[in-house]
Chain A
Amino acid sequence: MNKSFFRKVGFGLGVDETIPSNPLEWSISQIEKLPKLNWSGPIYSLKKMMEFHGKYNYQDRRVLRKKFKNSRKDYKKARKLLQYQTGHYYFEPLWLYIRHNEAVNGSSPVFQRFLHFWGNHFAIQKKNAMYSYDVGPYHREVIAPAMLKNIEDLVYEVTISWAMIHNLDNTKSIGPNSPKAFKYAKRGKSANLNENHGRELLELHTVSPNAGYTQNDVIDMSKVMSGWMHRIPKMSSKIHKREENVPVHFIEAYHDSGPFNVLGKKYVESFGTKAAREMLRKVIKDLVKNPACIEFISKKLCNHFITQDPSDEIVNSVINAWKKSKGDLKIIHSEVLKQAYKFSYLKKFQQPETWLLQFIKMSGLDYFPKDMTYDFETMIPRDKDRVRRICRNLGQLPFRPLQPNGWSDFEEDWLSPEFLFRRIGILNALKQKGKLIHLDKSYLDRIIELNFDNVSEIKTFLEKVNNNEESVALFSSKWMLKT
């Protein structure tokens, strides 16, 4: 048995677990249904988070900046208080602890690994403090349920989600051939498209540049997307006091009436709101059938779970599963798992957060705070914010990638002197604080026997280590960094 499979598609095995007799069945059973949350602490819905975020944006932009326009010091003080009241510093660590708890203590680590993958594929870049409020619930409420459907549903639901619409500025887009653009023209103003979302839908989320799309394809994709915006359709005279934090609607007045040409196919819109609204779904349906999309995402899945240079045999198996199942994500994920099992001897350098979670699960580290409640009045205590400091030190705050293409899957992007130092340095700091004291010889032996096949090689390696640094050595070893 290749025990690295448990780390390849999950987070390894904890010392209280037993080795599953059928690893493949163990993994596939986890991706077939939405796992029940193991988290018993506070949790908030995306809807509630949009209220928090909306309050923060409105109060900050419309109230405090005006009220304290003559005193930057007073403004900063008032804003700090507002940040406490809206949980500005609280929610990101809360979401991280929930994410990490599901990975380490939840019933379906394999499902969580796929959720991490798709959350990164549909990354929300560091922008407008969305990482503070919205990204955690976006992963849980938008992406996770759609992972049990078809790829078309997943792409569509993410595309019209508030987080992505805001992230990629689609609300700023006006179809040049839309009622709103005509109104603008009458007033001598020009209305134009915002290409950001249309471009990234093609480039990052579906077909990739390998499809050979042109600037005209980007423009027409943006036209198809025009009208999807976070705006209340008929604004009442009463100000909603939530800025952009309102649900996404399709507003036909902003939608371009076409026709559209995307990747060589002409789309003509029939009359009526329903047809206009459904156009995006129609185009996405074709995009996810495009061979470039199938190959791009299949390869990305193999890069993430199996190895960064997968053979054609591996990628083609996933491609075939995609084609045969017409994009059924359970079948696609299941094929990825089969290939990961079959080729579990291939090595993959683990991203910092994945490595961290494997280390926490395997070592049984005392990591989660006893209580994650918050008073919404003061700064969040340090112990409740520890997760964020650790992730920052490792160079991967999962909810805030700096660019919309998310975090890389490639060793070259993660292996630098400083990145390597951070992993070893964190282990060293935990050891110095006595957090690894429970990892005595018998505990380490149990970890090794559960999670590695080269047991005697690892034990011989650890025998050379002095100063009670065996645990630091094990978790910074090449066998842990590359799985």
Chain B
Amino acid sequence: MKINRRQFTLGSTTLLLSGMLPLKVNSSMLDNKKNLVVIMLRGAMDGLTSVPYIHDNTLEKVRPDIVVKKLLDLNSDFSLHPKLSGFHKLWKSNEASIVHATNIPYTGRSHFDGQNLMESGGTIPYKLKTGWLGRGIDVAGLEGLSLSLPMPLLLRGKANQDNFFPSKLSMPTRNLVDILKHHYDDEPLLKKSFDKLISRPISMTKSPNNKNLKTLARIAGSELKKNDGPRVAVFEVFGFDTHAAQGGADGEHGQKLKQVDYTFDVLKKTLGNSFKNTLVITLTEFGRTLVQNNGYGTEHGYGTSILLGGGLVKKSQVYADWPGIKNKNLFEGRDLNSTLDARSVYCSAMSVCFDTDFQLLNREVFPDEKLNDLTEILFKV
């Protein structure tokens, strides 16, 4: 009854590759298994707080109470929030980069429409019922794992993805499992979830007590590290919607960035040598306004930044067609503009991590969109 994960992975990969590409799966490919980790930052991460523009003193003027001090050096134009110290270490070892002034092509400033689009990869909210990562996984014939209790839209596709969150609960007897397996036959979603549930590896049936992000990152790291484990993992960090008390280095936004930072950190430690074949990338619905409000926070904006870490990052760089943050440069006179469709970054990331042609992914995952192939600019190809 139980499908062994190794067999399943090999089976599905071989099937797809043999149908589409003249390649054979061999042990050296498995040894070089590449992983993609996406950290979703819900609530709109402020790109100007995480990676402030320091070339002039605009930020100090417009954000007198929340401008971040004691920044970490990146280059002459940009610095890094001090809570991203782990990420900064990666930067120093050429394992981290930043894409700035970017966003999905959405300007409506609604969290929920924005989050739907950042996950679906579409342009009309709620139109697509699957996520860009799920569709990418389908194209590449891989497996994904979400470290969250719900299954995020991002990972939904045709294939059977898994989600996991630690608990002390256990399954009923095999007799009942077998009965339920057939019982759900005429309910496609129930069946899909149940089939995935009963094919979990043993390691995922024993849970630690602790459910914090560090533990989740550790679980993800150890699953991704396995040659026959999933190649994609998704995390969620909530609470970036800082209309009030956004604060400076120690404020609310900083605390959230700290969580992102230790996710990078724990993944690096847990993945060990496999970190060199891994890419960790952030995703958020939009950025925040340039100017602070009365509550020491910021409002919904447009352009933001993407953090990238891992051995697959080409080099330490802030990649941006920087629009500037003077009044005349702002989107609708209030937000950092976006000069790069963030989906180009994500499509390129999938192309590298899934060893799949960029154009194929562009066509299948983001149909009707002409995205830029950034694989050679951002990643080790």
Q: Which residues of A contact B (CB under 8 A)?
A: 126, 168-169, 171-174, 190-196, 199, 203-204, 209, 215, 218, 393, 395, 402-405, 411-422, 424-429, 431, 461, 464-467, 469, 472-473, 476-478, 481-482
Contact of A425 among B167, B184, B241 (CB under 8 A): B167
* CB pair A194 B109 closer than 8 Å: no
For residues 185 through 203 of chain B, which have their beta carbon under 8 Å from a beta carbon of chain A? 186-187, 189-190, 192-194, 196-197, 200
Contact of A473 among B113, B180, B186, B293 (CB under 8 A): B180
Per DSSP, chain A at the interface is helix
* CB pair A403 B171 closer than 8 Å: no
Q: A425-B167, A465-B175 are in contact. Are A199 and B300 (CB under 8 A)?
A: yes
Q: Which residues of B contact A (CB under 8 A)?
A: 42-43, 108-113, 125, 129, 146, 149-151, 153, 156, 162-165, 167, 169-173, 175-176, 179-180, 183-184, 186-187, 189-190, 192-194, 196-197, 200, 238, 241, 243-244, 291, 293-295, 297, 299-300, 332
* CB pair B169 A429 closer than 8 Å: yes
24 A-B contacts (beta carbon < 8 Å) = A171-B295, A172-B294, A194-B244, A194-B294, A194-B295, A196-B299, A199-B109, A199-B300, A402-B42, A412-B151, A415-B151, A415-B193, A417-B197, A420-B193, A420-B197, A424-B171, A424-B180, A428-B169, A429-B170, A469-B172, A469-B173, A469-B175, A472-B172, A482-B187
In the complex, residue of chain A having the shortest beta-carbon distance to the beta carbon of B179: A464
A411: chain B residues within 8 A (beta carbon): 189
A412: chain B residues within 8 A (beta carbon): 129, 151, 153, 156, 189
In Å, the complex CA distance between A481 and B293 comes to 46
B186: chain A residues within 8 A (beta carbon): 478
Contact of A192 among B169, B173, B238, B293 (CB under 8 A): B293
Q: A403-B238, A413-B150 are in contact. Are A466 and B173 (CB under 8 A)?
A: yes
Q: A473-B180, A481-B190 are in contact. Are A191 and B294 (CB under 8 A)?
A: yes
B109: chain A residues within 8 A (beta carbon): 199, 215, 218
A420: chain B residues within 8 A (beta carbon): 190, 193-194, 197
A169: chain B residues within 8 A (beta carbon): 243-244, 295, 297
* CB pair B243 A196 closer than 8 Å: yes
Besides A405-B112, A417-B200, 19 new A-B residue pairs in contact (Cβ under 8 A), listed by A number = A168-B243, A171-B295, A174-B294, A194-B294, A209-B110, A395-B165, A403-B112, A412-B151, A415-B189, A415-B193, A416-B151, A416-B163, A417-B162, A420-B193, A422-B167, A424-B171, A465-B175, A466-B173, A481-B190
In Å, the complex CA distance between A228 and B122 comes to 37
Most B-side CB within 10 Å, residue of A404, A411, A417: A417
Q: A172-B243, A192-B294 are in contact. Are A415 and B190 (CB under 8 A)?
A: yes
- Nearest first, the 10 closest Cβ-Cβ pairs linking A and B are A425-B169, A172-B295, A416-B151, A417-B197, A395-B149, A417-B196, A196-B243, A169-B243, A415-B189, A416-B163
In the complex, residue of chain A having the shortest beta-carbon distance to the beta carbon of B113: A209
In the complex, residue of chain A having the shortest beta-carbon distance to the beta carbon of B199: A417
Minimum CB–CB distance from A252 to chain B (whole Å) comes to: 17
Minimum CB–CB distance from A414 to chain B (whole Å) comes to: 7
Minimum CB–CB distance from A353 to chain B (whole Å) comes to: 14
* CB pair B150 A428 closer than 8 Å: no
In the complex, residue of chain B having the shortest beta-carbon distance to the beta carbon of A394: B149
In the complex, residue of chain A having the shortest beta-carbon distance to the beta carbon of B147: A418
Q: A194-B293, A419-B193 are in contact. Are A203 and B110 (CB under 8 A)?
A: yes
In the complex, residue of chain A having the shortest beta-carbon distance to the beta carbon of B176: A469
B190: chain A residues within 8 A (beta carbon): 415, 420, 478, 481-482
Q: A412-B156, A418-B164, A478-B183 are in contact. Are A467 and B300 (CB under 8 A)?
A: no
Contact of B169 among A404, A413, A426 (CB under 8 A): A426
In Å, the complex CA distance between A306 and B167 comes to 32
Minimum CB–CB distance from A159 to chain B (whole Å) comes to: 17
A215: chain B residues within 8 A (beta carbon): 109, 332
A461: chain B residues within 8 A (beta carbon): 179, 183
B172: chain A residues within 8 A (beta carbon): 424, 427-428, 431, 469, 472
Q: A194-B297, A415-B193 are in contact. Are A403 and B111 (CB under 8 A)?
A: yes
* CB pair B149 A473 closer than 8 Å: no
* CB pair A192 B180 closer than 8 Å: no
A466: chain B residues within 8 A (beta carbon): 173, 175-176
In Å, the complex CA distance between A415 and B173 comes to 22
* CB pair B180 A421 closer than 8 Å: no
In Å, the complex CA distance between A417 and B193 comes to 4
* CB pair B176 A465 closer than 8 Å: yes
In Å, the complex CA distance between A426 and B172 comes to 10
Minimum CB–CB distance from A323 to chain B (whole Å) comes to: 25
Most A-side CB within 10 Å, residue of B186, B291, B295: B295
B295: chain A residues within 8 A (beta carbon): 169, 171-173, 194
A209: chain B residues within 8 A (beta carbon): 108, 110, 113, 125
Q: A393-B167, A419-B150, A424-B172 are in contact. Are A194 and B200 (CB under 8 A)?
A: no
Contact of B187 among A416, A465, A478 (CB under 8 A): A478
In Å, the complex CA distance between A481 and B151 comes to 17
In Å, the complex CA distance between A218 and B186 comes to 45
In Å, the complex CA distance between A238 and B174 comes to 67
In Å, the complex CA distance between A275 and B241 comes to 33
Minimum CB–CB distance from B212 to chain A (whole Å) comes to: 14
Minimum CB–CB distance from B294 to chain A (whole Å) comes to: 5
In Å, the complex CA distance between A411 and B184 comes to 15
Q: A469-B176, A477-B183, A482-B187 are in contact. Are A192 and B108 (CB under 8 A)?
A: no
* CB pair A467 B150 closer than 8 Å: no
Minimum CB–CB distance from A124 to chain B (whole Å) comes to: 14
Minimum CB–CB distance from B70 to chain A (whole Å) comes to: 20
In the complex, residue of chain B having the shortest beta-carbon distance to the beta carbon of A195: B299
Q: A412-B129, A417-B162 are in contact. Are A395 and B244 (CB under 8 A)?
A: no
